[in-house]
């Protein structure tokens, strides 16, 4: 009769070996031998583990991004801005994006935006509950997509530069070049990613140079635009200074006179507002502005009004002036002006 107590360690060892064998049989090749599953000549591939599916996948995607030395957070913002611009490009003067439309959709639907296109993933859960995730990119297929997007963006940048050249010293030219600089920044990164996928692309020159080159063109265009600022009712010149500060911080030039590209006409009105409160004095302010081009055509208008209350009328007046200044430099005037610039490419 067999000694069951003596055979217990052997049985335990046998069970462990059998469990290991079953796990080895069921584990996918990319877990046991990643290099064999996805050879480096054809794939960029990483494997990461986590306690659950989400953490394992996120770890794998971030590890794949690190292969490209990509700053995930900064590029996420850049790609999201680019995707937004692409999605709004259908009605603009530039030709519709094609390759980038697919990329923009991927950015919008991805929960982990790394800016990497054509990423494939697999997940496997081991018997002990550990989750393994594989993130990979096919070198040939993904390189082809990046190459197509680079060529497409070069064409768009070229067209935007042509639009600017046809309308020198105008906000339209500035906005065209600003948008071109945005596209160029993302395209520069596409090129960096392409060079990791395809070493033959290293050192390949872009038609537009680089993003800094295009950004410099936009800045130079801004400096060529001078806005004459005239504000009625601005006794202390506070509104004039606020408008000047707003434009000069954006590289435009401001003047108080002269036959310049644009003229901003503004009116400031302040009046005491009687609200029946004996303890608090209120002053209402109204600020209206119109921007005209050199031909006297109105291209932009703005107005804001509100009231401010303080213990005295003079203090309320100062608070109203401060509110009007803030509306110009960082409030509704800034928002409305940016919307006007964006509309110039429609």
- CA pair distance 78, 186, nearest whole angstrom: 7
Residue 253: what pLDDT? 97
Q: Give backbone dihedrals phi and psi of 264, rounded to 5 degrees, phi first.
A: -100, 115
- CA pair distance 170, 232, nearest whole angstrom: 25
Tell me the pLDDT of the chain (346 aa) as tens digits: 445 454 555 555 555 555 554 444 589 999 999 999 999 999 999 999 999 999 999 999 889 988 887 665 666 666 677 766 666 655 555 655 666 666 666 665 554 546 688 899 999 999 999 999 999 999 999 999 999 889 988 998 999 999 999 999 999 999 999 989 988 988 898 898 999 999 999 989 999 999 999 999 999 999 999 999 999 999 889 999 999 999 999 999 999 998 899 999 999 999 988 777 678 999 999 999 999 999 999 999 999 999 999 989 899 999 999 999 999 998 899 999 999 998 888 7
Supply 340's token pair. 């006007």
Q: What is the enclosing helix (H) or strand (E) of 326? A: helix 313-329
Residue 22: what pLDDT? 46
Residue 86: what pLDDT? 65
Give DSSP secondary structure letters for 80-126: HHHHHHHHT-TTSSSPPPSHHHHHHHHHHH-SS--S--S-EEEEEE-
Residue 96: what pLDDT? 54
Q: How far is CA 12 from the centre of its chain?
A: 58
Compute CA distances 59 → 64, 116, 173, 245, whole Å. Answer: 9, 15, 43, 46
Hey, is 235 helix, strand or coil?
A: coil
Residue 106: what pLDDT? 63
Hey, is 231 helix, strand or coil?
A: strand
Residue 274: what pLDDT? 74
- CA pair distance 27, 30, nearest whole angstrom: 8
- CA pair distance 160, 119, nearest whole angstrom: 31
């Amino acid at each position: 009769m067999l000694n069951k107590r003596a055979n217990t360690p052997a049985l335990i060892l046998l069970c462990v070996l059998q469990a290991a064998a079953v796990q080895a049989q069921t584990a996918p090749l990319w877990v046991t031998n990643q290099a064999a599953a996805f050879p480096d000549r054809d794939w960029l591939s990483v494997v990461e583990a986590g306690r659950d599916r989400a953490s394992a996948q996120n770890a794998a995607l971030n590890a794949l991004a690190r292969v490209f030395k990509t700053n995930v957070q900064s590029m996420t913002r850049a790609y999201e801005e680019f995707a937004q611009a692409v999605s709004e490009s259908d009605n603009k003067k530039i030709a519709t994006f094609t390759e980038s439309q697919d990329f923009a959709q991927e950015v919008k639907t991805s929960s982990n935006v790394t800016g990497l296109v054509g990423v494939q993933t697999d997940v496997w859960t081991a018997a002990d509950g550990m989750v393994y995730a594989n993130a990979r990119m096919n070198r040939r297929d993904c390189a082809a997509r990046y190459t197509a997007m680079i060529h497409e963006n070069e064409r768009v940048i070229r067209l935007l530069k042509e639009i600017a050249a046809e309308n020198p010293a105008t906000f339209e030219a500035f906005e065209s070049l600003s948008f071109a600089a945005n596209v160029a920044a993302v395209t520069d990164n596409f090129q960096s990613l392409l060079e990791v996928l395809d070493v033959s692309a290293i050192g390949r020159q872009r038609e537009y140079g680089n993003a800094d080159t295009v950004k410099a063109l936009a800045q130079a265009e801004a400096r060529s635009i001078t806005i004459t600022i005239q504000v009625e009712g601005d006794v202390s010149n506070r509104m004039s200074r606020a408008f000047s500060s707003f434009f000069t911080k954006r590289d435009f030039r401001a003047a108080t006179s002269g036959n310049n590209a644009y003229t901003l006409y503004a009116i400031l009105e302040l009046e005491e507002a009687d609200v029946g409160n004996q303890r608090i004095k209120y002053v209402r302010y109204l600020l209206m502005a119109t921007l005209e081009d050199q031909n006297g055509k109105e291209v932009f208008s703005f107005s804001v009004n509100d009231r401010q209350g303080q213990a005295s009328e003079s203090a309320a007046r100062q608070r109203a002036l401060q509110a009007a200044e803030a509306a110009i430099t960082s409030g509704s005037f800034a928002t409305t002006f940016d919307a006007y610039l964006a509309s110039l490419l429609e």
